[in-house]
Structures are given as C-alpha cells and as structure tokens.
Structure 1
C-alpha cells in the first residue's frame, strides 16, 4: 500500500505551514459539556461526534468537550487531534504531562488498585515511575521465553470449548471463551500455575470484567435495550461507580494472584518496591493492561480474519504451516518469518485499536502541525487524541477504512510507525522513561500466536459480528478442521 505522506512534518508549497487559531468552542459553562456528552453517547455516537465537528471546522484539530464531563472530570475541555501527523505529540513526554490521564479526563479511585496510583497513572517526571516501569519491563523480559509454551497450554482449552459449543448449539460465542482462556494464560504466565488450580478456579475473569467495567463505566453506553438514555446517563456518566460493589471479587483474584507471584514480588522488593505496591502494580498490568487488551484485541482479530474470506484463510494457513514445518515447531524465529500473519495483526491493531483515546496536558506552550496547518496549544491545556481516526488517516493510508491483510507486507512494513495503539509508535520499543505500554511486544506476539494456533487446526471458518460495551463481539457459525 502506497504511503502518500512519508514525513511526520508535511510542508505546504511555500515550505511553511500556516499558523492558525484552533477552531471550535466549549459552549456555555455547565450546559456545553452536557450537550456534548449527550451528542457523544446518544445523538451521534463517537465516530460521528468527531467526524461532524471535523467537517464543520474543516480541521482535524479543534476544541471540544471530552466526555464524560463535567461531573467526573475536573475539566472536560480538550483540544482533539484526529490525524496521524499531530497525534504523536501525545507521546512526547518532554512536552506533555501524562499524570492521571491514563483513561481520560478523570481518574478512578485508587481503591480499585489497592490504594496506590499504579504506574499507568504516573507521569515519567515522577520519581516512582521509572522504578516501577523498569521493574515491569524487566519482569516481562524474563517471562518472554515462557510466552509460547504457556499460551499453547491455555489455548488448547479454547478450541475444545469452541468446538463443544458449536456441536451443541450450532454456533459459539467467542468472547466469553476467549476471555476465560486469556485469564488462565496470564495466570500461568505470571504465576506458574493454572488459575483452575487456585481458589478463583476458572471464573476469575468474570470478577476482572466487573472490576474493569466499574472503572470504565463513564466511557461506555449500554444502549436503550437496557436502560432509557436519561437513566443510563445519570447512573454511568454523572458519578464514578463505587469500588465496594466489586471489592470482594477483586480481592479474591488479587489474593490468589499475590500468592502465585511471590517470586516476582521478591524481585520487586529487591529493587526497592514495597511488596504490596508491587503486587497491585502487577495485578493492574495483568488484569487491566494485558487481560483488558486481549479482551478487545482477540475478538477484533478474529472478526476481521473471519470476514476476510476463504482466500485469506488459505494464505494464512499455507504460510503458517509451511514455516512451522520448516522450523520443526512454533518458535519466536518462526513467528518473525510470517510476514502475512504479522501484517494481519498490525492491520487489526490499526483499524480497531484496543485503546481508542490518548490524553495529555501541555507542559509548555507547544506548536503542533497537522497535514496542512500549525497550531499553538497553551501550557496546561488538555489534549485528546481519538486513535481510530488518526490510524485511518486517508493522507497516510490508501483505503483507510478497509481491512487490507497485506498492508504491512514488504515495503508496507514502513507504515507501522503510524500504528499508535500502544501509546507510542509500533516501530518503537517501550522504555522506563516513556508511557508506551510495557506489554506492547507481548500483546503483538500473542495476537500472532492466536493466528498460528488457529490455522494449525482449522482451514477456514465463518463468523457473525456485533458490538459489545468494550469492542466487537464474534460468534462462530462454522469451522473446518485441517485434514
């Protein structure tokens, strides 16, 4: 796929981009944020909310209120970025602050994380950030060799459950089966034992689901089939949901996880991190970052591959089986050789990123550029990037709305620097001094593993897709086993 703009700083014909005032407004105090919130959740929906204002102002950079506001947020006023060129300012922690903006303009109570501000909510300028992020990166690096065998052990049960449900019901809902597998895999990876061998059994993921929902509730909508809009808005978007409702479930999972990862906690203590704080940070990494990510990513991946058709399935199966046969088994080296499988994963991350929003506050007056203009963001102003638009920028990607399996094959791999799902460029690696997801490489590897394990077993499959509170729903209608 051709790259139309191969520069992060496109220039006008004169060589200097015109400096413009940032368009848009926030409406009347109190009422403006409420109007925008109703547009965002009920009248327009997320995509149309941003698209309509982009057309109105003829700009991919403008001012708007970011939901939920105004009650959950100290300040709902943001400058939104919708193109691939302006978006990366959100990663430059020398110019922007990332304190307490991990999921938006509000932060859930620290009761959800054992009373600690975990690493995800810390800015790199805070002294504890580097210590915690370095610890997480070191531990993930040590677990790297366990990824493939641990995943293969857990994913076997996924296929058993999938086939059993298909045989019994004529269809199988992939999401709950995938969630159950993901939770058990992560428990095996970090704790060296199956979750089924602990007090949480095989249902620990349901406790994490509620824990996730109560933190993310201000960002979701249930739809009229559950509650009238006015009632839902009052319940979900007006006040944060209380921790005590999910406390017992979280503590049950955390206690079992804490017991299983004692060796990791010992290492953290040696690095100067308190045992309890290390435990809750690792729980957040596992339960929110990793489990929450796979909860969205695996269904999205199977959704696009499933609807991609028989020819795509044949090509993936041929590539995967040939390379695995040549290597003798599934290895990291084998995964790296699978150019089509790699491209399919990046394309799924591009078109339906597991994290849709990125936020930051300007540390100083900064000048940003879009494709055709430049703008000044004042110190203290909040910046909001809506990633599904930035990674579907038509001036970067041809056929941006379409799922193109081989988009990142060959020369196309240069385009991965415009895939931003991890709070950084896909071409970059996370460090202790930035806010890129520490589990970035693990998530990509697991996605490739899902494709490999799937096409080692099946030739083709058909799915029906829909929408859930967090991401896509996938229902398998058929699978054809490999001969």
Structure 2
C-alpha cells in the first residue's frame, strides 16, 4: 500500500531542471568566483534559488578548472530532495568525498581508503565492519577516557585565563584534545607524547588536511588578492610530497602504537598496511578533522543561548548526575534538554555541510513542489545547512531553539542529517554513514556535561571563518552548586 508521501510525490508536476552551466571553462570560473569572492557561499545558493524559483537547479561547484574535470552538478537545497543522497541503491559514492575532484591517493599511502569507496565495492563493507566492530568493542572506554581528556583541557583553558591576557584560545586547545582522545582510543590509552609524535600530531594532521582540501576553501584575503589566491589554490592540485614526511611520521606512530587494533584488522582479513592507512585517515580526516571544528560550533551556539540556557543546562545536568550517582551513557540519556541542544547545534550548523553522489541510474528527484529527471552518471550535490534549515520542515529555521527536539519535537529528528544519513538511521557496512556518528553525539553531550559540572556560565567571542568559528573564552564562572 502506497504511503501518503509516495502519493504526494507522484502528484508533483514533472519539470525540467532549471539553471545553467554556462560556457565551457568560463561558466565554471564565473560560478567559482561568485562562490568564493563576489557573493559568498550562502548567498551563492540563495540567489540561484531565487533566480530559478527552485531549490533544485543546475550549477557548477568548485574547484572547477583545471583541478576538476567536470564541475557540473544538480544542486539539491531542501529537506525533501536532499535524502536521495543517502539512497545507496540509487546513487554511487565512488571517489566523491571531496566533491567533483579527488586528491591523489599518494596522500593515503597509495590506497583508496574507505571514505572514497562505494558501497558496491566489496572492500567497503570489510573496512566499515572493522571500524564498527572496533568502536563497539571500546564502548565502555569512551566516557572515562573523554572525561579525563576534558579535565586536562579545562585546566589548560583556566591556566590561559589566569595569565596576563585574560583570554583563552578555545580552538587550539580543543584541537589538541580531539587528537589526544582519538590517539588514546585507538592506541590502548597511549599518550601521543610518549611516541615520536610528541606534541606535533595536530599540526601534522592540519598540514595534511590543508593540502588536500585547499582547492575547496578561501582564506578570505583582501579583494585585491582574490584572483591571485584563486590561481594559486585552484590551478593545479598540491602534490603529496609537501606532506609526505609528516604523513610518514603519523603512519609510523599509529603502526607502532595501535598494535592491538591492527592485530584485530588482520584477524578480520584485512592487510595490515591497508588497515593502518585507513586508521590514519579515520583518525585524521574523519575524527580529528571533524571534532576540532565541532566543539567550537557547540560552544558558540550554547554561548549565544545566553545565561538562562546555561542555568537550565547546569540544573538538569547536576540533578541527573546526582540522582544517577555519576556520568554514564545511561544518565546522559535522561538529560532531555542536553540532548535537544546537541541536536539543535547539529541542525543549525552542520560541521560537514557538503554531500555529493552520482546517479547510478536514471532518477526522478522530488522537491516540495516538483519532480525532476536526472540522468545516470550526473553528479548530485547537497548543501546540508539549507536542508536542515528548510522552512517547510522547521519553524523559525534560522533561530537556535534549545528545546526544539524535546517531547513531540523528537519526531523532527529524522530531518537532522549527517553527511551520509539521517539521525534516525544507524551506520552499517552497507551504507556510507560515518561509523563514529554516535560517538560524535556522545562526545558533544559529554563536553557540555563536564563543562556545566565545572562552570555556571561563561563569556566568549567568536569570529567566523572558512574553517568554522574561532572562539575565544573571556571568562568562566566556577560552579556554585554541585
């Protein structure tokens, strides 16, 4: 029996996809300049929605010539059309992690790591099953290990505040914390300072990530230098030898320290070297690269929520911890406001905003108002913040509403999207959803729990950048009650 949703989709008018790619070479260059320099990211999409009177349209996406051989995409910018990107029976995810181009595999030891594999490739399921199994086997480690990491991190922030400047740089401190947590988790609680990495790990990963993803970003230079930056970043890909020595050091650190994990990989039928390169990628690109930006986003929105929200979070957290006798996964589940706040942060500012896939077959895609035919092989592109702030789904979508997902609001969780799936769906070997999805949610909750067990409120400031908010802590008010 057909659902009401299916019936509604069949009733939508079939329309040609609006928009244009422009002239070869010049069209992609023009769109690229609009995206980075003339309009900016959000305005680039908003103006094209208005011009085409459609949330589904054709456009070019960076980096374009000469790095990308084909920058043409069909953009999906609403909550109705976006989920087609998760349907692995209909779309292909081979080599599309970074969009319309792929960095050389020399950055990953010559391997196409799991994130670049399609679900139809046998090695994808093998690697994904290994990652999921590893995370499941360490589930009892997450809370105590991350709490220890957070304790060390808050001490560092307090030390910075006590110095003459009276401020603390949140991003750098939590970038180090994110790296240390993942290294300890993967390497049987071995501290990276005990290896040849010393304190270099975050810097090495930052450099490695930068040279892979540079064509997709702008440093926001003065206008006079815009086109110079565009030529430098997007004419030819950066060669991997810029980061080869640093990557070798990272690989060797994980190879010698994550012995138990790599033994498990071999027992699962994976080659040890391939498993290690995948481990480095997961730790650096997926985990460290995501978490170092996620925590500043969380503290930004909670900070903007104001003192009243801080009081409500502190009250709920301390009350539940007292009743439950400690901080556990079970006690976190009883903190309804905390859970809603974290989901609202993930909704309003997704850390990974872009999603790409190629049509496996001829498709019909549905927006709220129309249906569109897509041909096999066409590249689909979704900009997640527009889907998760769709006014046809969420009331006051641009507003941060801490209690949005409490009570009846939990029904909206199916519209909280990850890069490769919905919040209401689970990662599995047969899909592309991040293996550590649940761990990210858990860590965001734990971060706020530990924060409000220690502090009543805080003052901060932030600056927006291409790499997320840069947060400075100006003051912390120690907890008045426990």
TM-score normalized by structure 2? 0.97
Aligned to 1:119: 114
Query: 3-state DSSP class of the match of 2:31?
Result: helix
Query: 3-state DSSP class of the match of 1:80?
Result: strand
Q: Extract unaligned runs of 5+ from structure 2.
A: none
Deviation track 1:373-401 (CA, whole Å, cap 9, x = no partner) reads 11111111100001110110000001101
Aligned to 1:145: 140
Instruction: Determine whether 1:434 maps to 2:431.
Output: yes
Aligned to 2:454: 457
- The 8 Å contact of residues 186 and 286 in structure 1, kept in 2 or not, is answered as yes
Give the Cα separation in 2 of the matches to 1:430 and 1:254: 26
Task: Decide which of 310, 316, 331 is 2:328's aligned counterpart.
Answer: 331
Following superposition, the deviation at residue 8 of structure 1 comes to 5.8
Following superposition, the deviation at residue 422 of structure 1 comes to 3.5
Query: 3-state DSSP class of the match of 2:440?
Result: helix
Aligned to 1:424: 421
Following superposition, the deviation at residue 138 of structure 1 comes to 0.6
- The 8 Å contact of residues 10 and 371 in structure 1, kept in 2 or not, is answered as no
Give the Cα separation in 1 of the matches to 2:473 and 2:89: 46
Instruction: Determine whether 1:287 maps to 2:258.
Output: no
Give the RMSD, CA atoms, in angstroms: 1.5
Deviation track 1:104-135 (CA, whole Å, cap 9, x = no partner) reads 11111111111100000000111111111111
Following superposition, the deviation at residue 41 of structure 1 comes to 0.4
The more displaced of 201-210 and 312-321 is: 201-210
Task: Decide which of 269, 273, 286 is 1:272's aligned counterpart.
Answer: 269
- The 8 Å contact of residues 178 and 295 in structure 1, kept in 2 or not, is answered as yes
Give the Cα separation in 2 of the matches to 1:98 and 1:301: 29
Quickly say closer, same or farther: Cα 1:239–1:9, change in 2 above 3 A.
farther
Quickly say closer, same or farther: Cα 1:96–1:451, change in 2 above 3 A.
same
Give the Cα separation in 2 of the matches to 1:195 and 1:468: 29
Following superposition, the deviation at residue 226 of structure 1 comes to 10
- The 8 Å contact of residues 85 and 380 in structure 2, kept in 1 or not, is answered as yes
Give the Cα separation in 2 of the matches to 1:361 and 1:451: 38
Task: Decide which of 172, 179, 187 is 1:176's aligned counterpart.
Answer: 172
Following superposition, the deviation at residue 202 of structure 1 comes to 2.4
Deviation track 1:216-241 (CA, whole Å, cap 9, x = no partner) reads 11111011259811111011122211
Query: 3-state DSSP class of the match of 1:145?
Result: coil
Query: 3-state DSSP class of the match of 1:63?
Result: strand
Task: Decide which of 165, 183, 189 is 1:187's aligned counterpart.
Answer: 183
Quickly say closer, same or farther: Cα 1:8–1:412, change in 2 above 3 A.
farther
Aligned to 1:47: 42
TM-score normalized by structure 1? 0.96
Give the Cα separation in 1 of the matches to 2:150 and 2:192: 14
Aligned to 1:158: 153
Instruction: Determine whether 1:251 maps to 2:248.
Output: yes
The more displaced of 172-181 and 68-77 is: 68-77
Give the Cα separation in 1 of the matches to 2:20 and 2:131: 40
Give the Cα separation in 2 of the matches to 1:118 and 1:131: 12
Quickly say closer, same or farther: Cα 1:325–1:139, change in 2 above 3 A.
same
Deviation track 1:140-188 (CA, whole Å, cap 9, x = no partner) reads 1111111011101111121111111111111111000000111111111
Q: Extract unaligned runs of 5+ from structure 1.
A: 1-5
- The 8 Å contact of residues 369 and 375 in structure 1, kept in 2 or not, is answered as yes
Aligned to 1:3: none
- The 8 Å contact of residues 299 and 474 in structure 1, kept in 2 or not, is answered as yes
Give the Cα separation in 1 of the matches to 2:236 and 2:317: 49
Task: Decide which of 314, 322, 343 is 1:346's aligned counterpart.
Answer: 343
Task: Decide which of 63, 66, 88 is 2:61's aligned counterpart.
Answer: 66
Quickly say closer, same or farther: Cα 1:233–1:9, change in 2 above 3 A.
farther
Following superposition, the deviation at residue 136 of structure 1 comes to 0.8
Aligned to 2:238: 241
Following superposition, the deviation at residue 10 of structure 1 comes to 8.1
Following superposition, the deviation at residue 84 of structure 1 comes to 0.4
Following superposition, the deviation at residue 474 of structure 1 comes to 0.8
Deviation track 1:15-61 (CA, whole Å, cap 9, x = no partner) reads 71100000001000111000000000000011000100000011000
- The 8 Å contact of residues 307 and 463 in structure 1, kept in 2 or not, is answered as no
Deviation track 1:185-211 (CA, whole Å, cap 9, x = no partner) reads 111111121112222122311110111
Give the Cα separation in 2 of the matches to 1:411 and 1:250: 48
Give the Cα separation in 2 of the matches to 1:265 and 1:295: 25
Query: 3-state DSSP class of the match of 2:139?
Result: helix
Task: Decide which of 84, 89, 106 is 2:84's aligned counterpart.
Answer: 89
Following superposition, the deviation at residue 352 of structure 1 comes to 0.8
Q: Aligned ranges for residues 188-227 of structure 1 at < 5 Å?
A: 188-192=184-188, 193-225=190-222
- The 8 Å contact of residues 9 and 85 in structure 1, kept in 2 or not, is answered as no
- The 8 Å contact of residues 353 and 419 in structure 2, kept in 1 or not, is answered as no
Aligned to 1:388: 385
Quickly say closer, same or farther: Cα 1:228–1:9, change in 2 above 3 A.
farther
- The 8 Å contact of residues 355 and 419 in structure 2, kept in 1 or not, is answered as no
- The 8 Å contact of residues 26 and 32 in structure 1, kept in 2 or not, is answered as yes
Quickly say closer, same or farther: Cα 1:26–1:249, change in 2 above 3 A.
same
Give the Cα separation in 2 of the matches to 1:124 and 1:134: 12
